[in-house]
Amino acid sequence: MPGPRSKEIVLTQRQREVLHQMIRREKSSQQLVRRAKIILAAADQRNNQHHADLLGMTPTTVRLWIERWNMASGTLLKAEADENEKSLSAAICNVLADDTRPGRPAEFSPELFCQIIAIACEKPEDLGRPISHWSQRELADEVLKRNLVDKISPRSVGRFLKRSRP
């Protein structure tokens, strides 16, 4: 198939065996299996389009994982030198794992979550509230009254309560 050749990947026999084990293992995620197949196919020295067609993905995806593998080659060789199969397998899994993604930091801390649940366990009558059971709105008002947060919606309180159910 025409097109530029993919970057060269050097696989040792042990790395190849671990990748084959990952593909055959029942508990391997499909992402891990696909990425292991990319690396094994790339070791055959064909172009990225051929690998992409063979594996049913885009050449960009193939190129990305080949580059990630090549960047981690030193780490993999170090793990292989340990003579420990588990360390090599873990290193390969780390190379083939997703990068951590940035996300919005949590607005409410676990401590606040616990304090809200503790308030929900108190009787509203004991706090001077003319109700027999907490509603989401009443609980949100009590949290604001105690100055635990600057603002919180009744819906957020409801999600906390829902999450705390066994």
Taking the domains of the chain in order of start, what are their residue ranges?
A: 13-96, 110-161
Confidence category of residue 108, pLDDT binned at 50, 70, 90? confident
Residue 3 Cα to chain centre, angstroms: 34
Q: What is the mean pLDDT of residues 130-135?
A: 90
Higher pLDDT, 8 or 89: 89
Residues 142 and 119 sit within 8 Å (Cβ to Cβ): yes
Q: What is the mean pLDDT of residues 105-109?
A: 84
R_g over Cα of the chain: 26
How does 16-30 read in b/e, with b if 16+ C-beta sit within 10 Å? eebbeebeeeeeeee
How high does pLDDT run on average in the chain?
86
* pLDDT, position 139: 93
Confidence category of residue 6, pLDDT binned at 50, 70, 90? low
**What are the pLDDT digits (tens) for 133-158?**
999 999 999 999 999 999 999 999 99
* pLDDT, position 2: 54
Those residues with Cβ within 8 angstroms of residue 133's Cβ, 6 or more apart along the chain or in another chain: 124
* Strand partners of residue 70: none
* pLDDT, position 35: 92
First to last CA, the chain: 57
* pLDDT, position 153: 93
Cα–Cα distance for residue pair 112/123, rounded to 1 Å? 19
Evaluate the CA torsion angle 57, 60, 63, 68 in order and state its sign: negative
Cα–Cα distance for residue pair 155/138, rounded to 1 Å? 11
* pLDDT, position 4: 59
**What are the pLDDT digits (tens) for 34-72?**
999 989 888 877 777 877 887 888 888 888 898 999 998
Cα–Cα distance for residue pair 148/116, rounded to 1 Å? 9
* pLDDT, position 23: 92
* pLDDT, position 84: 76
Higher pLDDT, 20 or 79: 20
- What are the backbone dihedrals phi and psi of residue 149, each rounded to the nearest 5 degrees, phi first? -145, 165
* pLDDT, position 22: 92
